[in-house]
Structure 1
Amino acid sequence: MIRSARLFAALSVSTLALASCANAESGETAPPAAASAMPFAVTEVATFEEPWAIAFAPGTATLFVTEKAGTLKFIDTASGQIGTVSGVPTVDYGGQGGLGDVAFLPAEASDSLGNRTIYLSWAEAGEADTRGAVVGKGTLVCSAATTCAIEGLSVIWRQTPKVTGRGHYSHRLAVSPDGKYLFVASGERQKMQPAQDTSVTLGKIVRLNLDGTPAAGNPMADKGGVTAEIWSYGHRNILGMDWDAQGRLWEVEHGPAGGDELNLVKPAANYGWPIRSNGEHYNGDPIPDHTADDGFAQPATSWNPVIAPGDMLIYTGDMFAAWKGHALMAGLASQAIVDVAIEGEAAREVTRHEFDARLRSIAQGPDGALWVAQDGKGAKLLKLTAR
């Protein structure tokens, strides 16, 4: 049953202790600079196990939810009815790895749920205790209100190379506004230096054709191999990507001990990790801060202490007029929706809306309502509507 709870004031701000590198993706210190009374009502809609990504099938009120251990579910947000998708791949579950993002093609918007392209990302095991993120493409077919299957799922992209460890996969997906390209966030897998190595795809954003091949016109297309996939580099652990009204791509990524960044993504740009960061290493060793003359792309804004973002969207709806064009970030350790105004190529945090739980993912519904998935076991799916 759907339960409603109206929140009339901001929750108290807690001081959060700094986490270790092993918990970087889970969130570090994040005491907010400012918190406000919530301008929305919160409805608890459903519960999921370790949800990682949520996305509406275009043209529908059906929200798809990936669960990290390897289950893909969907919920009819009008009725609350939940179904499960079969044909999901086997994932390498553990640490930060498992089933990741889910994406659809806006051009295939239809009120009919099935028979549309679906993209998934997940962690895949390799040889000698190695792992890497992959992206698969298939066809979603739905035979009943609670029964869907993915047919013809095949891997179209692999993070290169597979390495040891279970962190910083990133594997967020974003289809370009013109519907021609698939952008994939590829984390540096806690190995740092590969983010600067353009012979690999760790620590990069790649731009692919919809079939997973490198897109023509990529900055290093003439070099061939996986280098031809690279759009931007020098990234750490990207957990949110979205497009603004001008068709510009923005991403938010975890810094180390401090230094979370919101970046305007430009082709061939180098964002500096691990040579530059507005944070420091977990052992206290310094990292030179970004400076205007350091030769690297500068963050639009950064946080120290961090906000520990789990996801991000740029709001386009009418339900919350004050948020239109703003980046809204689901916070893990910060346990908040972080509201950031984009001003040209710069950005500034406006406020934070505090919750009493870690927030993993955020999506905008067809009517402009916000949907937020909490993090972890028994996580609640919340609907936020205007008061």
Structure 2
Amino acid sequence: MLPRVLTTLTAAALFPLLAHAASEQRLPSEDGELIVNTVAQGLRQPWALAFLPGGTDMLVTERPGNLRIISADGKVGPAISGVPKVWYEGQGGLLDVVLSPSFPKDRTVYLSFAEVGDDGKAGTAVGRGQLSQDRTRLEHFTVIFRQTPKLSEGNHFGSRLVFDRDGFLFIALGENNQRATAQDLDKLQGKLVRILPDGEVPKDNPFVGQDNVKPQIWSFGHRNQQGAALNPWTGKIWTHEHGPRGGDEINIPQAGKNYGWPIATHGINYSGQPIPEAQGKHVEGMQDPHHVWEKSPGISGMAFYDNPTFTAWDHNLFIGALATEELIRLQLKGDKVVHEERMLSELKARIRDVRVGPDGYLYVLTDAKDGVLLKVGLDAR
């Protein structure tokens, strides 16, 4: 019994407000009190979630390679079979999950994950399979995209997935901690790519037909993109990425544009020295960030709030923060960020993902070996 007691004490020490899963916590916010409930706990480094239609059951990925269903009442299901083998090293593993836009008909689930090559280096891969009717397995799983070449030794896989209104699949990729590759158009590091649901390349992608250029590329010059979402009011894809030491940024990537990394950046090396390739914060011919943090929160996950449940959050954007252990709320006026609030800092938990549920609550995953799924609402003033 001693190991279990020690484990319980450790979890309580790390997450004092989450020690009792059944209890409701009330935390301060600018618009009233946040109502925070723990839906599930004991998750192994959860990375992403996607809501299944017809209720609030959700698919959740765990980085070691498990895909599970968590029910509306918090029951954590067994690992779903048929998930691809992943490279669980460093920042790698099983990463994002999204449903096909036509999931009620085709039951197709898309996963991104780290995949190792013959030389021991890895890259991001994306595949799809059909969730069985009994929801216990993925059937006919097929890889439809591979980041090439494979250069990661454990870092910067990026890996968010999002479908736009026209059914194109965007994949937000990291540069595998190989800075210069973000500018190399013959490589898929540090790129936002756009493909068809079966992995084929759209004929109107900006670099189609050019020699020595990967035709999947939509935009380039990105560092480590760990957030992507469809703006529900404009239909545009927004992404965000980690800077190095400083310079986390949000972008609204346009076709064929260069977003600067590592030539244009607001950050410096973790050592405190300048980025060797950097020429400044603003470089001619490169796109400035749509929004930038000079001090890095370590952003991950992104969700636009477009739901009538909590009107105070209307036209807000929520982003998780790993380094500063917060949930960031950005108030928008059109596309412009006009106000920022840091939330959930009392929990002292690394926020890996945030999504808006069909009930209008925020669902938040914490990045930990004993990770939790939180449900966050608002008792407005």
> Taking CA–CA contacts closer than 8 Å with sequence separation of 6 or more, which of the two structures ends up with the larger relative contact order?
1
> What is the rounded CA distance, in whole Å, between the counterparts of 1:39 and 1:159 in structure 2?
43
> What is the rounded CA distance, in whole Å, between the counterparts of 1:373 and 1:116 in structure 2?
24
- DSSP 3-state at the match of 1:194: helix
> What is the rounded CA distance, in whole Å, between the counterparts of 1:197 and 1:85 in structure 2?
38
How many residue pairs get matched?
Answer: 353
Q: In the alignment, residue 160 of structure 1 is paired with which amino acid?
A: T
How far apart are 1:78 and its partner, in Å? 4.2
- DSSP 3-state at the match of 1:65: strand
Alignment partner, residue 17 of structure 1:
none
Identity of aligned residues (%): 36
Structure 1: where are the runs of 5+ without partners?
11-35
Alignment partner, residue 34 of structure 2:
40
Given that 1:58 and 1:106 are in contact with CA atoms closer than 8 Å, whether structure 2 keeps it comes out as no
Structure 2: where are the runs of 5+ without partners?
1-19
1:268 is matched with which residue: 256, 274, 279?
256
Alignment partner, residue 108 of structure 1:
103
**Residue 298 (1) aligns with residue 294 (2):** no
Given that 1:329 and 1:339 are in contact with CA atoms closer than 8 Å, whether structure 2 keeps it comes out as yes
> What is the rounded CA distance, in whole Å, between the counterparts of 1:196 and 1:157 in structure 2?
20
> What is the rounded CA distance, in whole Å, between the counterparts of 2:281 and 2:121 in structure 1?
32
Cα deviation per residue 1:85-111 (whole Å; 9 max; x = unaligned)?
A: 11111111010000011110233347x
> What is the rounded CA distance, in whole Å, between the counterparts of 2:329 and 2:119 in structure 1?
43
How far apart are 1:57 and its partner, in Å? 2.0
**Residue 157 (1) aligns with residue 145 (2):** yes
1:5 is matched with which residue: 4, 17, 24?
24
Distance change (3 Å), C-alpha of 1:128 and 1:81: closer
> What is the rounded CA distance, in whole Å, between the counterparts of 2:48 and 2:287 in structure 1?
28
Given that 2:28 and 2:34 are in contact with CA atoms closer than 8 Å, whether structure 1 keeps it comes out as no
Given that 1:308 and 1:334 are in contact with CA atoms closer than 8 Å, whether structure 2 keeps it comes out as yes
Deviating above 4 A after TM superposition, structure 1's stretches of 4 or more consecutive aligned residues are: none
Alignment partner, residue 216 of structure 2:
229
User: 1:190-339 counterparts in 2 under 5 A?
Assistant: 190-223=177-210, 227-244=214-231, 245-286=233-274, 287-291=278-282, 294-339=284-329
Alignment partner, residue 362 of structure 1:
354
Distance change (3 Å), C-alpha of 1:122 and 1:341: same
> What is the rounded CA distance, in whole Å, between the counterparts of 1:78 and 1:319 in structure 2?
20
Q: In the alignment, residue 69 of structure 2 is paired with which amino acid?
A: F
Q: Compute the TM-score of the two structures, normalised by the length of structure 2.
A: 0.88
How far apart are 1:346 and its partner, in Å? 3.4
How far apart are 1:321 and its partner, in Å? 1.6
Cα deviation per residue 1:124-169 (whole Å; 9 max; x = unaligned)?
A: 11022211110011111132xxx52100001100001101411000
How far apart are 1:9 and its partner, in Å? 3.1
Distance change (3 Å), C-alpha of 1:136 and 1:226: farther
Distance change (3 Å), C-alpha of 1:71 and 1:83: same
- DSSP 3-state at the match of 1:195: helix
Q: In the alignment, residue 28 of structure 2 is paired with which amino acid?
A: A
- DSSP 3-state at the match of 2:246: coil
Q: In the alignment, residue 25 of structure 2 is paired with which amino acid?
A: R
**Residue 125 (1) aligns with residue 116 (2):** yes
Given that 1:160 and 1:226 are in contact with CA atoms closer than 8 Å, whether structure 2 keeps it comes out as no
Distance change (3 Å), C-alpha of 1:82 and 1:206: same
1:65 is matched with which residue: 35, 60, 64?
60
Given that 2:125 and 2:145 are in contact with CA atoms closer than 8 Å, whether structure 1 keeps it comes out as yes
Alignment partner, residue 99 of structure 1:
94
Given that 1:205 and 1:230 are in contact with CA atoms closer than 8 Å, whether structure 2 keeps it comes out as yes
Alignment partner, residue 140 of structure 1:
131
